[in-house]
Amino acid sequence: MSEQPLNPSPAGAPADDAAGPAPVAPEPAAPGPTGSTAADALPTGPAPDAASDTVSGEDAAVSPVDAAVSDEDAAARRAASFERARRLRQEPRFPGGPAADPAGSHHERRIRSFQPRRSRVTTSQQESLERLWPQWGLDIDGKRVLDLAELFDGLPVVLEIGFGMGEATAQMAADDPGTGILAVDVHTPGQGNLLGLAEKAGSTNVRVANGDAVILLREMLAPESLDGLRVYFPDPWPKARHHKRRLIQPDFLDLVAPVLKPGAIVHCATDWEPYAEQMLEVLTAHPRFENTAADGGYAPRPAFRPLTRFEGQGLDKGYVVHDLLFARV
């Protein structure tokens, strides 16, 4: 579905007229040839020595030893810059809140269906993250198997992957307090927004997970522990060369099937027609899932999935939204 600088640059201070007399303007230089620039008027040779108007070729030459030292210094500066960037990526933006890189580097490199984004966090979102994350948030670190019964006080649990700013998730949680929602995303403002919305509605059945849903499915969920999966409006990756990044793929369904209870529903929705066709094809072909639509096609939008503001704007523009509901067999 789906992260602007936090602080604007300060405005320049006005000149202080009382600081001293105004500087004297230099004498105008003689005009150069037509088309010349300030750079053209600068001397192009080496700077003269303090005691001489010329520099000997012997002084201007760089010895092999000096060149090697210079190369080493440049390499050290580059390494230090990379290290600072790496630490910045790993530092949490909010102490006690979601980690910047929860799984660390011990997991394999692979094509991912999401692009982490760091965008502006509002004051209210930051306050929600700092105050509510210790209670309702968790990092996907791949180091433990979650006890969903303990995490959700025995409620049946549905996993939602990619909740954006969390409006639809918060509404579904408020409308169905008897179902726990484990909501996964990497978008920090959305995480804070969902926590704030859930608290405002008095919903205690939402937990926000930060990180890669693949690691969560593969390493942190017990077999047959989920009562459903929701994937609403995932990134369609429309360019052909990016189709491999789409979330709904056979390998992804192979991870999903074991952690779902028999009869659990996988519910996908998209307004991107080619992606809807791929979803239908992939889900239909998988032996562990069965289409709940009698005609083997798309399903009507169920009442429990809210019509979001952005979806409504798309419908006004003529977009068609497709829902797919498949049961785990």
Give catalytic residue positions. 235
Which residue, among 218, 322, 215, has the nearest Cα to 276 in the 3D structure?
322
SS3 16: coil
8 A C-beta contact, residue 268 and residue 323: yes
CB atoms within 10 A of CB 314: 15
> Are residues 270 and 282 in contact, defined by beta-carbon separation less than 8 angstroms?
no
User: Two tokens at 255?
Assistant: 């991870």
CA-derived radius of gyration, the chain: 29
CA–CA distance, 22 with 40 (Å, rounded to integer)? 29
Characterize the bridge pairing of strands 157-161 and 137-139.
Answer: unpaired
Query: Closest Cα partner for 182 from 193, 194, 200?
Result: 194
Give the pair of three-digit tokens for residue 239.
């360019």
Q: What share of the chain is helix, strand, coil (3-state, %, to 5)?
A: 35, 15, 50
Asked if residues 226 and 255 have their Cβ atoms less than 8 Å apart, the reply is: no
- As a dihedral over the C-alpha atoms of residue 136, residue 139, residue 143, residue 148, rounded to 10 degrees, the angle is 30
Q: State the Cα–Cα distance between residues 218 and 256, nearest whole angstrom.
A: 8
